[in-house]
Structure 1
Amino acid sequence: MKSQVSPSAFQQALAGGQPVITAEISPPRGGSVQHVLTTADRLRGRVHALNVTDGSRAVMGMSSMAVCRLLLERNLEPVLQMGCRDRNRIALQADLLGAHALGLRNVLCLTGDPVKAGDQPGARPVFDYEAVRLLRDVKNLNRGLDALAQPLPDGPTALFPGCAADPQLPSWNGLKRRLKRKKEAGARFIQTQMVTDLAALRRFCRELAAPLALPVLAGVFLLKSGKNARFINRMVPGASIPDAAIARLDAARTPRAEGLRMAAEQVAAALEIAQGVHIMAIKAESSIPQILDLAGVPPLAPAIVGSVVPRSLAAEPR
């Protein structure tokens, strides 16, 4: 049995082969959401969806699910990140059901960054699941079954799962095997880590993603200075910003402006290779429209920025 919920604008754009733009939003490290909502509003009409991080780099922040629901209420389409580091399988299944009930459809299933990468290294990691197991649970829930293969009393969920991948991993065979497992587990799209090697991205899309019929959103990171780039290389798992890019930032009279130009160049180049891009501009999300302008990416058509609130929830009392 399948859910009859209509696909969202993000899902339709992916299925239709359109160039897709997403942007990353970090939940606040406090109880107020005003800043994050103001930032999200500035991206209205420029991105298909806003990807809300879930304890990225093992740094505490507000619940991704709460921010996603608030975005949905503002008619902005969210992608809920869900990592396995902080929850066991019971909590993960509970959150997936809760996300569906709240009208959230897009879920990026992640294993999660190690606790030692964050600001609370004394925290106890869970890792009861990893990304493939989480994807399988989403697939089961969408078939109307729980993790024990028991029927859900209210029918199937309507979640749209995606996965992450790093095209620059040194083990190509390992990357190929894991991506195949994610596809078999139910992944419907790929969001990559930051990619600076376009040849690696091209090979990844052509040899791995295309045979699996998985659309790729290539990760583009806004670098603010050479110092910022070196910090990212040191602190972000898997990051590998080349020395040439760092030298370009160091030599720039205005490093921030140079970073914007570099990000725009990467967006334009990635859109020639992958179906879309995922822009990460930590604490500078308001710069994303400028990056898109520099890259020659026009605002979205009005039809794409129509209502994203599921019909079953649109009439709910507030």
Structure 2
Amino acid sequence: MISNFQTAIANKEFLITAEVTPPKGGNPQRMLEVAELLKNRVHAVNITDGSRAVLRMSSIAGCYLLLQRGIEPICQVTGRDRNSIGIQGDLMGAYSLGIRNILALTGDPLKAGDHPQAKAVFELESVRLLKLINKLNQGFDLNNKPLTDGNLNLFTGAAVDPQSKSWSGLQRRFDAKITAGAKFFQSQLITDFDKLELFMNQIAVDCDRPILAGIFLLKSAKNALFLNKNVPGVQIPESIIKRLEKAEKPLEEGIKIAAEQIQLAKNICQGVHLMAIKREDLIPRILDLANIDNLT
């Protein structure tokens, strides 16, 4: 079965994905309500896997609940919390439930989250995780033993940070992820679109993989300053912070900024990945303001 997201990539469509956080508890109602608002507005919905090392419902369970409602998920899988046996078992289970899209991630450090005393695993970082999924797709486990009950056919993606301070390191990791089997890339939060364009023209120019620029809904200047201080790699410029400070309604200004950034990205790369933590309900408004039509 080929996913709708995979078909959109093959058709060279401008891709829209959005991130939704699963619940902290057993009631998925809010997650499902938000995901329903994104139906026919995005090609796929990412369900995070313990993002920022904060405890949440498993991404596989969240993705399965979305599939039951006709919403295509991208299941985030990190190497932080499980060893190779656990990850392989989870990937087999995800595939059996109809989940096809996987975003392979290393995972945020535990000290950033709500269980800093927990024991990290990190047996597999993102490149080794991509290689593992490629093996499973070919019908073999990590030890090159045949999967006696059928191979998988997962469509894998990876993260990329075009604003990385190490250009050579960025090139090396990007190439390694392509070699390991990444078919699409979702970027970290982008604010420097000149750097994104440079990345597209110098590093990603011949990769033949869609790059989706990470667009984050900034709710206030305080929110922007918090991200700069606490999220590795985030570099929100002073000009945006000042704009939010001066705004009579900072949230409305944040919506405008996100819409403007989508329009910038349309001229540079093949899609956007929208992050509006705790306000995912505003994503349709952002898309409307950016003149992005419904998918149907």
> TM-score, normalising length from structure 2?
0.99
Q: Does 1:121 align with 2:121?
A: no
1:62-77 correspondence to structure 2 within 5 Å: 62-77=57-72
1:289 is aligned to 2:289: no
Task: Tell me how far apart the structure 1 counterparts of residues 59 and 261 of structure 2 sit (CA, whole Å).
Answer: 27
Separation in 2, partners of 1:23, 1:239:
18
Higher mean Cα deviation, 11-20 or 71-80? 11-20
Q: CA deviation at 1:239?
A: 1.0
- Deviation string for 1:54-109 (max 9, x for gaps)? 00001100111000000000000000000111111111111111111111000000
Task: Within 5 Å, give how 1:73-92 maps onto structure 2.
Answer: 73-92=68-87
* Corresponding residue number in structure 1 for 2:10: 15
Query: Aligned pair 1:131/2:113, yes or no?
Result: no
Task: Find runs of 4+ consecutive structure 1 residues off by over 3 angstroms.
Answer: none
Q: Distance in 1 between matches of 2:38 and 2:207?
A: 31
Aligned partner of 2:24 in structure 1 is 29
The partner residue of 1:171 within 166, 170, 186 is 166
SS of the residue corresponding to residue 31 of structure 2 reads helix
Q: Is 2:217 aligned against 1:225?
A: no
What amino acid sits opposite 1:109 in the alignment?
A
Q: Is the 8 A contact 1:113 1:237 kept in 2?
A: no
Q: Establish whether residue 155 from structure 1 lines up as the match of residue 150 from structure 2.
A: yes
Number of equivalenced pairs: 296
Query: Per chain length, whose mean CA-contact separation is higher, i.e. which structure has more relative contact order (CA < 8 Å, sep 6+)?
Result: 1
The answer for the alignment partner of 1:61 in structure 2 is: 56
Partner of 2:41: 46
Identify unmatched segments of 5+ residues in structure 2. none
What one-letter code is carried by the residue in structure 2 that aligns with 1:122? Q
**2:234 counterpart residue number:** 239
Does 1:207 pair with 2:202?
yes
How many angstroms apart in 1 are the aligned matches of 2:205 and 2:70?
A: 32
CA contact (8 A) 1:88 1:129 kept: yes
Gaps of 5+ in 1: 302-318
How far apart, CA to CA, are the structure 1 residues paired with 2:64 and 2:202? Answer: 36
**Contact 1:209–1:215, Cα closer than 8 Å, also in 2:** no
Q: Does the 8 Å contact 1:131/1:163 carry over to 2?
A: yes
| 1:60 counterpart SS class | coil
Deviations 1:26-66 (A, max 9, x none): 01111100111011101111000000000000110011100
Q: How does 1:235-314 map to 2 (within 5 A)?
A: 235-301=230-296
d(CA) in 2 for partners of 1:206, 1:80: 29
SS at match of 2:140: coil
Percent identity reads 53
Aligned-partner residue type, residue 71 of structure 2: L
Partner Cα separation in structure 1 for residue 189 and residue 275 of structure 2: 8
- 2:188 is matched with which residue? 193
Give the RMSD, CA atoms, in angstroms: 0.8
Distance 1:284 1:84 in 2: 27
Look up the SS of the partner of 1:283 in the other structure: coil
Q: Are 1:96 and 2:111 counterparts?
A: no
> One-letter code of the match for 2:56?
G
Give, in whole Å, the separation in 2 of the partners of 1:31 and 1:155. Answer: 32
What is the CA–CA distance in structure 2 between the aligned matches of 1:204 and 1:155, rounded to whole Å?
39
In structure 2, C-alpha distance between the alignment counterparts of 1:103 and 1:205, rounded to whole Å: 33
Moved more, 198-207 or 213-222: 198-207
Structure 1 length as normaliser, TM-score? 0.92
The aligned amino acid for 1:33 is P
Query: Helix, strand or coil: the match of 1:211?
Result: coil
